[in-house]
Amino acid sequence: MMPTWPAAPPAPGVTPSNTYTTTYSAAPAFTPVPVRQSFAQPYGNPTSSRSPTTTNHSDQADDQSKKKIDWPESVRQYVQRSFLPANLEPTISRPEMEAKLKETITHATERGIMFALDWDTMPLPQELILEDRARMAAVSISLPSHGGSPNSASKKRKSGDLTDRAKLASPPPWRAGQGARLEDRVTYTNKDKRPTVDEPADNTSKLNKYEKRQKRFNGGYTSTYRSPSPPPCDGPVVGTCQDLEKRYLRLTAPPKASAVRPPSVLRQTLELLKKKWKKDQNYSYICDQFKSMRQDLTVQRVRDEFTVEVYEIHARIALEKGDLGEYNQCQTQLKALYKLGLKGKPNEFKAYRILYFIHTANRTELNNALADLTAAEKKDEAIKHALDVRSALALGNYHRFFQLYNETPNMGAYLMDMFVGRERLAALCNVCKAYKPDVPLRFVTEELYFETDIEAAQFIIDHNGQELLQEKEGTIMFLTGKAGQTFESAKKQAFSRVDIKGQI
């Protein structure tokens, strides 16, 4: 089976690592994020900023870099197989193969799926290259510009399309023998005691947002990974292609003008895509189309407010879908574009940056981000919110943290979803140590901003706390006094993935 997309399919029976979590998760996932390294490695690599390597460069990501010593045997064999004389393809040069190998392996590293993939059945780089070429040849035939789904529809990854709404909306299973009647007793807690929230005690708005986020499918979607930059052109290409929709293809040679859409066309494309996104919510398609747009803008050296808009929209969509890799690429570009003085929503995205660095616990970048803020920016609503989140977490004020979580402007909540799980664990540890002999479960639900008592209970159970829930005179109590170290190791694990010293 030739994969449609460059990403290799996961081995059967193995789900690719989650790129994001829902608002609560048994195993809060660490998203290995390809944060671009600021410059090439000290040894050997050329200075050229034209072909930067994408490496994992969060503070602790040294182990995840593409050093050969970290590769599993299967990967090494894959590389060896690629270069067996019998497998070599005469029309494919060695540099091409090496580039493709690097790409494939880097992608796997960045997505944290290196060990999950079945390298034994992975198509060799030369196969992938041939397939690319075939597609490149095919793309010169224009795709229908209006209406209908593009030809690619039939080749879409089906798994990515599933939004298993039914499955997610039902309450999580309740273990037998643990008081099955809890479900009957659960009422939706109206958080009317919160003094500062500016929303009217309007359950629906909060529910909708929550529900919407809950309905994100888990796994399944694998974003396309970064392309290596196209080789430098002598001057910008001026595109003549009139097709509104165009599949994304990595460039291995300067593009023909007829394959590139001029900005006038792209503006129409953007409108079309906005409508399609609203209607179909098909992320893999949308992401692909946006990458293609970005590429067309890049090769034509278009850096204006339209470019900003494209990146901003793509970033927001990526955030909503928890695709941090894609989000991060857009974010990096936006930073550069804003720096050129282009108009857009720099404050919105600055706020996202701060939340993102909180998530990855990237101290260096967090410090940099703070150093970068002007007094005016600090007053901006979104940025102030992000700063308040940071400081609440820094001092362990989980109460304030969850209040802020509830009030997150723009799309920030999707980012916060990434680390709400671990912060809940931390808060739970605090509660267990400080409160004796017990607290009502309701307290946990409210303080830790669970939607329902069931959800709170499920979270506790997921972390081996089932013995700590006990009914007492009609109320479920959470027996903090007996908790001991129950949640500590889970917390440690959750934080160790981003190497936080368990600050909370």
Partner 1 sequence: MEFGNHLYREFEEAWEANNGYRLAATINPDLSAAQLGKIHQSIDPDSGNWKASQEDNVKGSIKRGLQSTSIRTRGFDNDEIKGWTDVYFAYWTVTGTLARARAQGPSSQVSLQLLWTEVFEQWKKFVNALVQGYNNYGFEAWTIPCLYVAGKYLRLFAMQADDERSKNPSENDSANAFQDDFDPETDKHQKLEDCARVLNRVFSVCLNDRAPLEESRKWGIYFIINLLFKTYFKLNSPSLSKNVLRILTAGRGDMPDFYSFPRSQQVTFKYHEGVLNFLEENYAEAEKHLTEAWGLCHKDAIRNKELILTYLVPCRLITTHTLPTEKLLEPYPRLQRLFLPLCRCIKKGELHAFDLALQEGEDEFVKRRIYLTLERGRDIALRNLLRKVFIAGGFMPAAEGEKPVRRTRIPVAEFAAAISLGSQERLDNDEVECLLANMIYKGLMKGYISREQGKVVLSKSGAFPGTGV
How many residues touch partner 1 under the rule CB under 8 A: the total is: 62
Binding mask 191-220 for partner 1 (x = CB under 8 A): --x-x-------------------------
Q: With respect to partner 1, which residue has the nearer C-beta, 146 or 193?
A: 193
Identified binder of partner 1 from the candidate list 110, 447, 451, 455, rule CB under 8 A: 447
Query: What are 472's strand-pairing partners?
Result: 475
Q: Which is nearer to partner 1, 217 or 478 (CB)?
A: 478
Q: Which residues contact 456 (CB under 8 A, 6 or more apart)?
A: 441, 444, 445, 448, 450
State in angstroms the smallest separation of the CB of 3 from partner 1. Answer: 23
Q: Which of 433, 452, 470, 482 binds partner 1 (CB under 8 A)?
A: 433
Nearer to partner 1, 139 or 366 (CB): 366
CB of 332 to partner 1, least distance (A): 6
Cβ proximity to partner 1: between 295 and 410 the closer is 295
Taking the complex as a whole, how short is the minimal distance between the CB of residue 330 and partner 1, in angstroms?
Answer: 10
Strand partners, 143: none
Residue 57 binds partner 1, judged by CB under 8 A: yes
Please state, in angstroms and rounded to a whole number, the distance separating the CA atoms of residues 48 and 405. Answer: 42
We find the least distance from the C-beta atom of residue 489 to partner 1, in angstroms, to be: 16
Closest among 350, 341, 420, 343 to 382, alpha carbons compared: 350
Q: How far is CA 489 from CA 132, 206, 484, 485, in A?
A: 46, 32, 11, 7
DSSP state of 321: T
Point out which span in 22-30, 114-122, 160-168, 223-231 binds partner 1 (CB under 8 A): 223-231
Distance CA 456, CA 113 (A): 30
Give the separation between CA 221 and CA 200, rounded to whole angstroms: 36
Tokens for 497, please give them: 């993935």
Q: Which helix (DSSP H) or strand (DSSP E) does residue 12 occupy?
A: none
| Gap between the Cα atoms of 498 and 123, Å rounded | 32
Return the residue of 39, 121, 208, 280 that touches partner 1, per CB under 8 A. 39
User: Which pair of tokens denotes residue 132?
Assistant: 């690319």
Please enumerate in sequence order all residues whose Cβ is within 8 A of that of 293, keeping only pairs 6 or more positions apart, or say none. Answer: 261, 266, 269, 270, 273, 310
Q: Kindly indicate which of the ranges 23-31, 173-181, 229-237, 238-246 contains the residues binding partner 1, using the contact rule CB under 8 A.
A: 229-237
Residue 204 CB, nearest approach to partner 1 (Å): 24
Q: Work out how close the CB of 90 gets to partner 1 at its nearest, in angstroms, rounded to a whole number.
A: 30
Contact 227, 250 (CB under 8 A): yes
CB of 81 or CB of 433, closer to partner 1: 433
Among 142, 391, 485, 489, binds partner 1 (CB under 8 A): 391
- Minimum Å distance from CB 51 to partner 1? 8
| Among the residue ranges 31-39, 98-106, 123-131, 208-216, the one whose residues contact partner 1 (CB under 8 A) | 31-39
Contacting residue, 4, 268, 430, 470, with partner 1 by CB under 8 A = 430
Confirm or reject binding of residue 67 to partner 1 (CB under 8 A): no
Nearer to partner 1, 16 or 228 (CB): 228
Virtual CA dihedral for 304, 305, 306, 310, nearest 10 degrees?
110
Contact assessment for residue 378 and residue 317, using Cβ atoms and an 8 Å cutoff: no
Q: By CB under 8 A, is residue 181 in contact with partner 1? A: no
Neighbours of 140 (CB within 10 A): 10
Candidates 80, 364, 475, 485; binder of partner 1 (CB under 8 A) is: 364
Q: Which is nearer to partner 1, 29 or 427 (CB)?
A: 427
How far, in Å, CA of 450 to CA of 467, rounded? 20
Q: Does 436 bind partner 1 (CB under 8 A)?
A: yes
Of positions 66, 216, 246, 294, contacts partner 1 by CB under 8 A: 294
How far is it, in rounded angstroms, from Cα 308 to Cα 71? 38
Residue 145 CA from chain centroid, whole number: 30
Find out whether 416 and 389 touch, Cβ atoms under 8 Å. yes
Asked if residue 179 lies in contact with residue 471, where contact means CB atoms within 8 angstroms, the answer is yes
- Among positions 26, 62, 240, 275, the unique one binding partner 1 when judged by CB under 8 A: 62
Question: Which residue, 66 or 226, is less far from partner 1 as judged by CB?
Answer: 226
- Per CB under 8 A, which of residues 78..117 are in contact with partner 1? none
In whole angstroms, give the CA distance from residue 415 to residue 361: 13
Helix or strand (DSSP H, E) at 476: strand 475-478
Strand 439-440 and strand 469-472: pairing? unpaired
Q: Shortest approach of partner 1 to residue 378 CB, angstroms?
A: 9
The footprint of partner 1 (CB under 8 A) covers 36, 38-40, 42-43, 47, 49-50, 52, 57, 59, 62, 193, 195, 226-227, 229-230, 232-233, 236, 294-295, 298, 301, 303, 329, 332-333, 335-336, 339, 363-364, 366-368, 370-371, 391, 394-400, 429-431, 433-437, 439-440, 443, 446-447, 501
